[in-house]
């Protein structure tokens, strides 16, 4: 495959990198500290730190904005309208290079208006929203004025099997009635979160992947309660938050059902392909950040008369981290290229492959960086435990490792099982 | 070796297990929640939850108290005086069996008055304290009325090489003047923490392992400041806390130097042997807790029509966890038996071996349990991320893995290097 | 558990160790070379090297003979009669210590008349043979005059599931008629191999574990053909050999069926417990040999100005090998102690656990030793690739890793599955 | 990078694949069996099996010949002259795709006249040989009429540090006098091996990488003795063989020194870059072959009522193998593209990275395939143990893993160490 990044994307990736290193990372410690202070004072920390708004404005000004918008008719149109530098969307290969650079710190994607789950929700609105829905929700999202959440995972069932989803989205005349409890709804704690993309069971008698619907639910609809923000290995990830949300007899117009009842899985498939590429590339950026810190700390700290990097197996671990990161990046770029060339279905197995392997590699590299930092690595003085929490959670979010390995295995075995069956005839 | 646990210890271990399962674990969720609430309200959460005091009283009443006291003249004497059931101390093999049972939850050791770092500090006072020091500090510690901290690790140097320690404990006439900054001083945030065992540099010109002294420092001495409580992967571990402490011109009488100036490493050696056994056995208990939860969750949750334990490699992972835990326990028991038979020096390599391998095994088992819990496993709804933080931090605390592996390698290679040198003559 | 080895066993283990190091290992290179020469000259290499006979005579003379015989009425009787030093059999814990010492080299077990599969076959004859069968086969086996083979695994089916066995042992009046093809029949190429213990299907309609019988078949019975000796990673393991054997209308008296038709699995269970302990302890001896060589080579060879052991992660790998070996040994000793205390059924899961983990640990240690030997490690100049072949084959022989892990998982999950079912009622 | 394979290379790769699957693999079993028979009969097995000659003729006829020749002036010239289809050499990216297909079986590279070490030797002659040397040695090599060997590794020193090389190539007037002992000289046992490329010490006082020379030595020069063919995990790899060679006062004209005395390391650098790409891509083909067999066997064999692939963690292992192979391939393709774009020095670290990781991945996949084949996998009935031997030996040949990891670590740490030094000024 041609994994070459276009000159425009390469330039933007470089500018994003500079922006992250020179503006976001220096602000990160302050922002993190301020959120911690708010929590320590018992204040609501799910507020937008003024520094974030300031950086967002700078990013938008620089055209480093909505970079996730896909190339092609619709993406280009929105990109032109909402300030992406160059005025066009990007291929997956191109955006992957940019996403890597935004992955160095948890704050960056938000600042470039490229963070999950808003990106995925915006793509859904872009593809499946009516013009009215786009004007109501997509426009302010693209302007970074409002935020959104995606309500899929449920506390009461094993959500690794998405067909387990039990929350209901039932048709009642020209309304949809929603009941159930969701969690891990990232972004729902953000003060500007105005809309949920909700998935729920509409018709238990339909075929397995046509029972569920995807519905737009205003965050302030009667019956919606944000129960709590869940910690992820102790991290609250302000200002987004990962929430448990209950929905009790929430009623929305039937027109809020995206693409019609029973289409949730069909839409989700298309949403998840690029989303997983983004997640994985951001993790590669995160792993690069961790490796950088490991190398720097390891050359500066001295034990037994030598810098840490000269002791024991540390150099081998640095080399393995480098190699693993490079392999991971190539695998993601290759999946991105396939997604560009063959579409969601043609790249499905490749996307599962990266999702099954990249978070683990990121975890390993970050864990090594923690170890190189000694006790400090376990504290919040370095963004390493939060990086670990992010990477570790992606071994579960958007499908656990095991489910994705299962997809890869199924594809690999398909011809052999067919041959055996053929024989059996 | 004979790894048999004595009937008395086996009985107490069983009672501790019952106490933990029936009283502490049910209270754990409430206590954890209450600490979280205090934090959320911006209150100081380093207070003793009333339930803890209640459980401590029950534990002491049941004679499940100060169980760490070592067999032998002094240990037995103190055990008899301070309410250990049976009135005698335990061998390391015996106490290991008990420590495992206290390891299921972070709160349990505290409730049995068997928690680090108080146990190690009590042992130091027991062995090296004067009668006056014992009455002043050891007695209230054994009664669970005060708490203590151990001030060794420093933020400014690689503490994996303990000789890097730079905080000073300088003799000035009949006083010791203390200056420096320490961190990871566990227990220092506890409201009842009254005394520090401080290690610092006294004589930079002495031989490498005779430069440092161990000094008793009252927590309220002028010049002592608790700078902050450090989070460990987001956990504050109330009510103990892991603190950064600064000491500025703190003056204590010269008689507060334990065993005399320059003796810190000699004392530390004796302190760390049993301490590492305790840590490792508690981790085995923690890993057992995690495996139990993995099995329970894995049989209850259903995906793709089957309980999770029937899917993919989950059964193999359960089997490997079982085998790894069993190997780890045997290795610790064997090290404990060597410590009983041959003393600290005779068991030094064995103790390094367990310290190098058990925390990693515990991490792996807990990580698997998290994965089996899906998203929930990443939250605080289950005591799994806190268990992970505990186990992960022990890959650094009391010597990082790499240092302990280095000790094992040195011992293994000794005869070969001697042979090569012999040849070289 | 008490894992203490008795003084008698410890003394014999030490003498075996000396015998192996001083007599067998020095002869090993010569014997290996001579077998290679025979092969190179196109001669039959399945002959007994005269040095082997000489060493066997010395071992018997020293009472280092039939050491595998189990303690207890029958074992003691045979041990007294056939020259085991001390005149008594050993507990599993005791014999494990001895077996480890015989494991350093593939030849040693043969020289002490303690090699698989003869030991297992002798145990079967001891327990299930008639007095006549014992006089005919067991006596010459215990004298080391004849050898035997165990015919279980079959080329045409997945023998990991032993119930797949398809070779037939059909009752025809007072005869048994045997038909089928077996492989991995170790020892069948030995010139003195006179008897096979054959497992085959007798009654396909019986319950799953009562369909097969175990039959004594003279090696020279009409219809028996040794088809070939199979290489194991290129090793032929003279003089024993691992053979493919075809049996065509082989007829033996019905009295040759051990314990009666349909009893094969019942007998095999009892046979495999101690056998797996022996295999695993020998592998630990083999791993110790490999680690010794790694340390020696690593201190003697110099690259980049330093002995290899000072480079990169080599010391960490040495430490991990030491720790893994020690954990493995303790796990096997613990399983042996359980076998002594609770019998085959009581120790079944523990025996599966060691079988699932020890061969892999041995493979890893040997692989590291190969790496430390550079190119030489891949050749036959060192007994490392043959050691690797031995260890690797034990990840398959006597049940592959996966089957044993399955047994451990089943035991672990039993209470949870029962609880879930209970709830379901 | 653009990893796209050119249409011409893709077509040839496909044809090579078909040729290997339809002609070479079916013949492989017969050829292997015949070599085994020769050995069993005590005959010299280092002969060219007639089937090999036949297949070579077919391959040359089909233009699937000397495909390794590099694109560019010289490579194209020789490619045109010696029958490469298309008459031109290939870029590294292109040839990598072809090499993968030749890697499925050990025999294939020989049949396409693309086997190590002849390819490397031909490249050296192509770049550094005089016109006379090219006519004498390169022409018959390109015609597949003679074979060559590369004499570098020595039994007496740790050859992982190539500067340890102690065999001498001393200038004596207009002659070079060669003394020393080499081993792992692959191809030296081939009956047509006519020339050695020998590396030896010329000037111990020169700078570290300018002490050694590379010399053409006729295989039949007086003083040359092939001492033996070394087994590689029991494999002799006929007809090439891996030999130990002694050279005693071997005299060749000074003009046989390639590129002049002291240039050996400079030449070797250029030789090893593409060579390691070839090795790694062939290993990927080998791993694909193993994975195919694992899937096929795993679907055909049944245990416990299910095909093996449905049991335990087998599907996860299949998925991981697929992912690892894909990551490895991409990493090698990327290194090849860098080699094409930036030359040997520019791709040096990338080449070390693939050499450090690909053989281990291949070993793991092949080991899994062995496990899926049960006992059969350990025998010669499947080309799996020989594949394992090949892959395992490449963790040592051409630089052990540890040396290559060291190279990668050095490059990674360079900026950090420079920064620390800068600070130190």
CATH number of D148-262: 2.40.110.10
CA-nearest residue to D417 within chain A is A299
Residue ranges matching CATH 2.40.110.10 in chain C: 148-260
Best of A316, A318, A321 to substitute, by most chain C Cβ atoms within 10 angstroms, is: A316
Q: How far is CA D206 from CA D163, D213, D232, in A?
A: 12, 12, 35
Separate counts of helices (H) and strands (E) for chain C: 14, 9
Measured in degrees and rounded to the nearest 5, phi and psi for residue D191 equal -60, -25
Q: In sequence order, which residues have a C-beta less than 8 Å from that of residue B212 and are 6 or more positions away?
A: B163, B165, B169, B199, B200, B201, B202, B262, B264, B265
Give yes or no for a cis peptide into D239 (omega within 30° of 0): yes
Q: How much is the pLDDT for C423? A: 63
The span from the CA of D186 to the CA of C311, in Å, is: 28
Mean per-residue pLDDT of chain A? 95
Rounded mean pLDDT of D182-198?
Answer: 97
The span from the CA of A113 to the CA of A116, in Å, is: 9
Best of B327, B357, B420 to substitute, by most chain C Cβ atoms within 10 angstroms, is: B327
Size of interface A-C (CB pairs under 8 A): 11
Best of B298, B320, B330 to substitute, by most chain C Cβ atoms within 10 angstroms, is: B330
- Nearest C-alpha neighbor of A378 from the set B355, B370, B160, B389: B389
Measured between beta carbons, the chain B residues lying within 8 angstroms of A378 are: 230, 232-233, 389, 392-393, 396
Q: How much is the pLDDT for C20? A: 98
Q: What is the DSSP letter of C4?
A: P
Rounded mean pLDDT of D125-149?
Answer: 96
Q: How much is the pLDDT for A73? A: 75
Indicate if the pLDDT at residue B140 is higher than 60. Answer: yes
Domain covering C265-424: architecture = Up-down Bundle (1.20)
Q: How much is the pLDDT for D273? A: 82
**Which region among A41-55, A131-145, D268-282 has the lowest average model confidence (pLDDT)?**
D268-282
The span from the CA of B31 to the CA of B236, in Å, is: 13
pLDDT tens-digit series, residues B55-90: 999 999 999 999 999 998 788 999 999 999 999 999
Residue ranges matching CATH 1.20.140.10 in chain C: 265-424
Stated as kind and residue range, the H or E segment containing D213 is strand D212-218
Residue ranges matching CATH 2.40.110.10 in chain B: 148-261
Q: How far is CA B28 from CA A235, B22, B406, in A?
A: 21, 11, 38
Token pair in block for residue B200: 């610092």
Measured between beta carbons, the chain B residues lying within 8 angstroms of A153 are: 375
pLDDT tens-digit series, residues A183-221: 999 999 999 999 999 999 999 999 999 999 999 999 999
Q: How much is the pLDDT for A425? A: 47
Torsion of CA A176, A177, A181, A182, to 10 degrees: 10
The span from the CA of B109 to the CA of B285, in Å, is: 12
Q: How much is the pLDDT for D424? A: 52
Using CB atoms, which residue from A1, A322, A407 is nearest to D408? A322
pLDDT tens-digit series, residues B359-405: 999 999 999 999 999 999 999 999 999 999 999 999 999 999 999 99
pLDDT tens-digit series, residues D53-67: 999 999 999 999 999
Q: What is the DSSP letter of D380?
A: T
Contact check, Cβ <8 Å, A327/D328: yes
Contact check, Cβ <8 Å, B318/C406: no
Measured between beta carbons, the chain B residues lying within 8 angstroms of C309 are: 409, 413, 416-417
Token pair in block for residue D162: 């190539």
- Positive or negative torsion for Cα D363, D364, D369, D374: positive
Using CB atoms, which residue from A299, A320, A357 is nearest to D417? A299
First to last CA, chain B: 39
Q: Judging by DSSP bridges, how do beta strands A147-151 and A193-201 pair with one another?
A: parallel
Residues forming beta bridges with residue C199, ordered by sequence position: C214
pLDDT band at A74 (very low <50, low <70, confident <90, very high): confident
Residue-level pLDDT, tens digit, chain C, 425 residues:
899 999 999 999 999 999 999 999 999 989 999 999 999 888 999 999 999 999 999 999 999 999 999 998 788 999 999 999 999 999 999 999 999 999 999 999 999 999 999 999 999 999 999 999 999 999 999 999 999 999 999 999 998 898 999 999 999 999 999 999 999 999 999 999 999 999 999 999 999 999 999 999 999 999 999 999 999 999 999 999 999 999 999 999 999 999 999 999 999 987 778 999 999 999 999 999 999 999 999 999 999 999 999 999 999 999 999 999 999 999 999 999 999 999 999 999 999 999 999 999 999 999 999 999 999 999 999 999 999 999 999 999 999 999 999 999 999 999 999 888 776 54
CB C177 within 8 A of CB C249: yes
Specify the fold of A148-260. Butyryl-CoA Dehydrogenase, subunit A; domain 2 (2.40.110)
Please give the radius of gyration of chain C, using alpha carbons only, rounded to the nearest integer: 22
The span from the CA of A98 to the CA of A120, in Å, is: 16
What are C's interface residues with B at a Cβ cutoff of 8 A?
1-4, 291, 295-296, 298-300, 307, 309, 315-316, 318-320, 322-323, 326-328, 330-331, 334, 353, 356-357, 402, 404-410, 412-413, 416-417, 419-420
pLDDT tens-digit series, residues D138-170: 999 999 999 999 999 999 999 889 899 999 999
Contact check, Cβ <8 Å, A158/B303: yes
The span from the CA of A121 to the CA of A116, in Å, is: 8
CB atoms within 10 A of CB C73: 9
First to last CA, chain C: 38
Residue ranges matching CATH 2.40.110.10 in chain D: 148-262
Size of interface C-D (CB pairs under 8 A): 136
Indicate if the pLDDT at residue B424 is higher than 60. Answer: no
In a 10 Å sphere around its CB, with 0-12 CB exposed, 13-18 middle and 19+ buried, how is residue B393 labelled? buried
Residue ranges matching CATH 1.10.540.10 in chain C: 7-115
Q: How much is the pLDDT for D425? A: 47
Residues forming beta bridges with residue C242, ordered by sequence position: C186
What pTM was computed for the model? Answer: 0.97
Produce one character per residue of C267-280: b if its CB has 16 or more CB atoms within 10 Å, e if not: bbebbbbbbbbbbb
CA A241, chain centre distance (Å): 13
Contact check, Cβ <8 Å, A413/D318: yes
Measured between beta carbons, the chain A residues lying within 8 angstroms of D3 are: 1-3
Indicate if the pLDDT at residue A424 is higher than 60. Answer: no
pLDDT band at B270 (very low <50, low <70, confident <90, very high): confident
Contact check, Cβ <8 Å, A312/B396: no
Q: How much is the pLDDT for A366? A: 98
Percent residues over pLDDT 70 in chain A? 99
Domain covering C7-115: architecture = Orthogonal Bundle (1.10)
Mean per-residue pLDDT of chain D? 95
Beta strands in A301-406 (DSSP E): 302-303, 306-307
Measured between beta carbons, the chain C residues lying within 8 angstroms of A312 are: 313, 315-316
Distance from CA of C334 to the nearest CA of D (A): 27
Distance from CA of A136 to the nearest CA of D (A): 41
Q: What is C28-91 written as a DSSP string?
A: HHHHHHHHHHHHHTT----S--HHHHHHHHHHHHTT--STTPBSSHHHHHHHHHTT-TTSS-B-
Q: How far is CA D203 from CA B392, D163, D170, D182, in A?
A: 54, 12, 8, 19
Helix, strand or coil, per DSSP, at residue D358: helix
**Which region among B256-265, C33-42, C385-394, D368-377 has the lowest average model confidence (pLDDT)?**
C33-42
The span from the CA of B214 to the CA of B124, in Å, is: 10
First to last CA, chain D: 39
Size of interface A-D (CB pairs under 8 A): 136
CA-nearest residue to C300 within chain B is B420
Q: Judging by DSSP bridges, how do beta strands A212-218 and C224-229 pair with one another?
A: unpaired
CB C314 within 8 A of CB C308: yes
Contact check, Cβ <8 Å, C160/D303: yes
Best of B312, B317, B371 to substitute, by most chain D Cβ atoms within 10 angstroms, is: B312
As a residue count, chain A comes to: 425
Distance from CA of C351 to the nearest CA of B (A): 11
The answer to whether the complex's ipTM is over 0.95 is yes
Contact check, Cβ <8 Å, B234/A230: no
Best of C284, C294, C324, C330 to substitute, by most chain B Cβ atoms within 10 angstroms, is: C330
Indicate if the pLDDT at residue B265 is higher than 90. Answer: yes
Q: In sequence order, which residues have a C-beta less than 8 Å from that of residue A263 and are 6 or more positions away?
A: A210, A213, A214, A257
CATH of B148-261, one of 1.10.240.10, 2.40.110.10, 3.40.390.10, 1.10.540.10: 2.40.110.10
Using CB atoms, which residue from A232, A379, A392 is nearest to B231? A379
pLDDT band at B1 (very low <50, low <70, confident <90, very high): confident
Mean per-residue pLDDT of chain B? 95
Indicate if the pLDDT at residue B272 is higher than 90. Answer: no
Q: Angle CA(B369)–CA(B375)–CA(B379) in degrees, nearest 5?
A: 85
């Amino acid at each position: 495959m041609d994994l070459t990044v276009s000159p425009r994307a390469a330039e933007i990736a470089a500018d994003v990198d500079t922006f992250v290193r020179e503006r976001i990372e220096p602000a990160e410690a302050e922002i993190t500290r301020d959120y911690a202070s708010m929590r320590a004072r018992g204040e609501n920390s799910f507020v937008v730190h003024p520094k974030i708004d300031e950086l967002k404005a700078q990013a938008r000004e620089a055209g480093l904005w909505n970079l996730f918008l896909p190339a092609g008719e619709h993406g280009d149109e929105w990109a032109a309208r909402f300030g992406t530098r160059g005025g066009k969307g990007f291929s997956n290969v191109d955006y992957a290079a940019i996403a890597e650079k935004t992955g160095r710190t948890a704050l960056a994607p938000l600042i470039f208006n490229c963070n999950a789950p808003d990106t995925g929700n915006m793509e859904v609105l872009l593809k499946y929203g009516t013009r009215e829905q786009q004007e109501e929700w997509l426009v302010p999202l693209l302007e970074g004025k409002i935020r959104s959440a995606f309500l899929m995972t449920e506390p009461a069932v094993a959500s690794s099997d998405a067909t387990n989803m039990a929350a209901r989205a039932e048709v009642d005349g020209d309304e949809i009635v929603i009941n159930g409890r969701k969690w891990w709804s990232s972004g729902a704690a953000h003060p500007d979160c105005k809309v949920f993309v909700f998935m729920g069971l509409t018709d238990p008698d339909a075929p397995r992947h046509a029972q569920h619907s995807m519905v737009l639910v205003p965050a302030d609809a009667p019956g919606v309660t944000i129960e709590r923000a869940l910690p992820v290995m102790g991290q609250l990830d302000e200002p987004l938050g990962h929430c448990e949300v209950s929905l009790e007899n929430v009623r929305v117009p039937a027109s809020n059902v995206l693409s019609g009842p029973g289409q949730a899985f069909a839409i989700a498939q298309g949403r998840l392909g690029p989303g997983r590429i983004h997640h994985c590339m951001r993790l590669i950026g995160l792993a690069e950040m961790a490796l950088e810190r490991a190398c720097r700390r390891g050359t500066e700290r001295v034990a037994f008369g030598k810098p840490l990097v000269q002791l024991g197996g540390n150099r081998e671990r640095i080399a393995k981290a480098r190699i693993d990161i490079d392999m991971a990046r190539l695998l993601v770029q290759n999946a991105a290229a396939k997604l560009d060339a063959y579409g969601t279905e043609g790249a499905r197995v490749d996307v599962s492959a990266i999702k099954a392997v990249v978070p683990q590699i990121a975890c390993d590299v970050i864990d090594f960086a923690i170890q190189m930092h000694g006790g400090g690595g376990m504290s919040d003085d370095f963004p390493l435990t939060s990086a670990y929490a992010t990477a570790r959670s992606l071994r579960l979010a958007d499908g656990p490792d095991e489910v994705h390995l299962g997809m890869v295995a199924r594809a690999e075995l398909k011809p052999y099982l067919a041959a055996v069956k053929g024989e059996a005839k």
